[in-house]
Amino acid sequence: VCSSDLVTVSLDTLLRNGITNAERPYARVDIPGTFSFPSLVMADYGVRTLLNAPGLYVKDVTYAGNSVLHEPLKLGSAISGAGMRVIVARDGATLGARVTDKDGNPVPAIAVLLMPADVRSEAILQRFLVTGETDQSGQYTSHTLPPGKYYVAAISEPFNATTESIDRLWRSRIRFKEVELAPSGSAQVSLEPLKIE
């Protein structure tokens, strides 16, 4: 880990509406380092992390020893003084995709979506969906991802992460291509554009 590597941690309230970016608890932290969120309202939160360093990814986030990476963070559910811990790992993987039409011609500027296979609900999917776009030659390469199983697709329509769009993705995920990313590995898939139902 380089001394200049930082991880960003933020919290989204899951039950309150209208939260703005200015209100969202947010911290940029050295690796290793410490952070705090003063004056949090007692609520359920979704934890977001961002780490842009080759080979590194956030492996887990725990609160009072329990994982909240893919689950809501319930403030007040642990003893006073319980802390949050962000665990960074070095064995990240990447995924490359080549998108072509039915005649084998490359498809540029099309959305490529990746979802971790272990996500168990639409609400969690909205926070962990990885999106990108192909270049002029129909190629896409992901940022560093945690090893594991993913569902990946190129979709033939504009995509916005609205609740309705996420619901449609959730229902369509069985039609996505399944890919396994090995630790410190890379994988390449070939895709044709898919229409989301």
How does pLDDT run across 121-153, given as a tens digit for each residue? 887 787 788 999 999 999 999 999 999 999 999
Is 187 a residue whose pLDDT tops 90?
Answer: yes
How confident is the model at residue 77, as a pLDDT? 62
Q: Are 156 and 112 in contact (CB under 8 A)?
A: no
Residue 64 pLDDT grade (very low, low, confident, very high; cuts 50, 70, 90): confident
Average pLDDT rounded to a whole number, residues 161-172: 86
Using the 8-state DSSP alphabet, how is residue 50 labeled? E
The secondary element (H helix, E strand) that includes residue 163 is helix 163-172
Cα separation, 74 vs 159, whole angstroms: 30
The closest of 93, 87, 28 to 54, measured between CA atoms, is 93
Cα dihedral 8, 162, 73, 95 sign: negative
